[in-house]
Structure 1
């Protein structure tokens, strides 16, 4: 784990909605995240979602070895998107 922020330039597109034990959570799952980050623990990043800044947010573990970004109801309203809609996430900086 590092406390020194470092730049990232990683973009992915995925639908909103992660199935966790039969419940759909309003999150976006990042493919290949454990390999990119080198960890299966939560990671803090600066990101954008469809161009909207999401500073210093935690990517939570999925339980399947990956990471997911939670999208609040307010953020989904701002994006004009909901469960099942695709968003593009750009990771710009990793904090830890």
Structure 2
């Protein structure tokens, strides 16, 4: 049975995180390791520019976390790599 830890954290960042020389359609969250208390993957409930989603923040390999912004979500938002989005995290699932 999963539980939800209530969070209220918001940040804005451009879509696009360089991983091993490739640009991924993700947003990097500043201060994520401190907020989550771990460098591992963290499943959250959030909104991206007001669109709800449940997804995992993945480790970047550089001590931070990133959230994938799928092609379907980017199309819905009318955004692409380089465009800024606002992510509002409302819960952490465990």
Q: Provide the rounded CA distance (Å) in 2 between the counterparts of 1:74 and 1:4.
A: 28
Give ranges in structure 2 of 5+ residues lacking alignment. Answer: none
How far does the alpha carbon of each residue in 1:20-79 deviate from its partner, in whole angstroms, 9 at most, with x for none? 111000000000000001000000000000000012x11111000111000111110000
**In the alignment, which residue of structure 2 is the partner of 1:29?**
28
Q: Provide the rounded CA distance (Å) in 1 between the counterparts of 2:37 and 2:71.
A: 30
Normalised TM-score (structure 2): 0.95
Give ranges in structure 1 of 5+ residues lacking alignment. Answer: none
**In the alignment, which residue of structure 1 is the partner of 2:92?**
94
User: Is it true that 1:16 corresponds to 2:15 in the alignment?
Assistant: yes
**In the alignment, which residue of structure 1 is the partner of 2:72?**
74
Q: Provide the rounded CA distance (Å) in 1 between the counterparts of 2:67 and 2:34.
A: 16
Q: Which runs of 4+ in 1 moved over 4 A?
A: none
Question: SS of the counterpart of 1:59?
Answer: strand
Deviation at 1:4, TM superposition (A): 2.9
Normalised TM-score (structure 1): 0.94
Q: CA RMSD in A?
A: 0.8
Q: Give the number of equivalent residue pairs.
A: 93
